[in-house]
Amino acid sequence: MARPEETGQQRAVAAGRGLVGTAAPRAVLTTIDGERIDLGSLYGKKAVYLKFWATWCTPCREQMPHFEHVYQSAGTDLAVIAIDVGFNDSLDEVQKYRRKLGITMPIVFDDGSLGSAFNLRVTPQSIVIGRDGRILYVGHLADEHLDAALLAAREIKSAPAVAGPARAETAPIGVGDSLPAQSLAMLDGSSFALKGSGAARPTVLVFLSPWCESYLATTRPAISASCRRTREQVSELSGNQRVRWIGIASGLWASPDDLREYQTENKIRIPLTLDESGKLFRTFRVTDVPTVLIADSNGKVIQRVNSDDPDGLRKAIVGL
Residue 279 has pLDDT above 90, yes or no: yes
Is pLDDT at 275 greater than 80 in this prediction? yes
pLDDT in tens, 70-85: 999 999 999 999 999 9
Please say which residue of 137, 155, 173 terminates a domain: 155
One domain for residues 148 and 11:
yes
Host domain of residue 272: 183-318
Of the chain, the percentage scoring pLDDT greater than 70 comes to: 95
Statement to judge: residues 209 and 135 lie in one domain? no
In a domain, 130, yes or no: yes
Strands (E), 145-228: 183-185, 191-193, 203-208
Residue 117 belongs to a domain: yes
Identify whether 15 is part of a domain: yes
Amino acid 165: pLDDT: 56
Residue 313 domain-assigned (yes or no): yes
Give the pLDDT confidence of 85-101 residue by residue, as tens digits: 999 999 999 999 999 99
91 with 199, same domain: the answer is: no
Examine residue 189 and state whether it is found in any structural domain, yes or no.
yes
Strands 203-208, 291-295: pairing is: antiparallel
Q: Is 24 helix (H, G, I), strand (E, B) or coil?
A: coil
- What share of the chain in percent tops pLDDT 90? 86
Q: Residue 1: pLDDT above 60?
A: no
Q: Indicate if 106 and 49 belong to the same structural domain.
A: yes
**76 and 214 within one domain:** no
pTM: 0.93
> CB of 60 within 8 A of CB of 53?
yes
d(CA 208, CA 32): 27
Boundary (domain end) residue, out of 139, 155, 171: 155
Find the farthest-apart pair of alpha carbons in the chain and give their distance in angstroms, rounded: 64
Q: Is the domain of 189 the same as that of 150? A: no
Nearest in space to 194 (alpha carbons), one of 209, 177, 211: 177
The number of domains in the chain is 2
Total residues belonging to the chain = 320
Which CATH number does the domain housing residue 36 bear? 3.40.30.10
